[in-house]
Amino acid sequence: MKCPRCKSESEVLETRDGKRRRACLNRTCRHRWSTVELSLSELQQMRADTIRLIRVRNMINEGR
């Protein structure tokens, strides 16, 4: 995975309960961040919820 700040390569420092701590390998950056693993069903549910939210917002905006 690439560093979100400088786009260099990163390494995994720690993995625990579906979460990963990462660190940038660039000596001048050394940014640290966390990533989270999602199952396919969790990802599909998030997508369905997002689509539902967009539809509700559009209905509200049309009523103005």
Q: What is the pTM of this model?
A: 0.63
> What pLDDT score does 6 carry?
97
Alpha carbon distance 5, 28 (integer Å): 11
Q: Domain span at residue 33? A: 10-62
Question: Does the residue 50 lie in any domain?
Answer: yes
Each residue of 30-47: pLDDT tens digit?
A: 999 999 999 999 999 999
Question: Does the residue 41 lie in any domain?
Answer: yes
Position 45: which residue type? Q
Question: Does the residue 14 lie in any domain?
Answer: yes
> What pLDDT score does 63 carry?
79
Tokens read off for 34: 């966390």
> What pLDDT score does 45 carry?
95
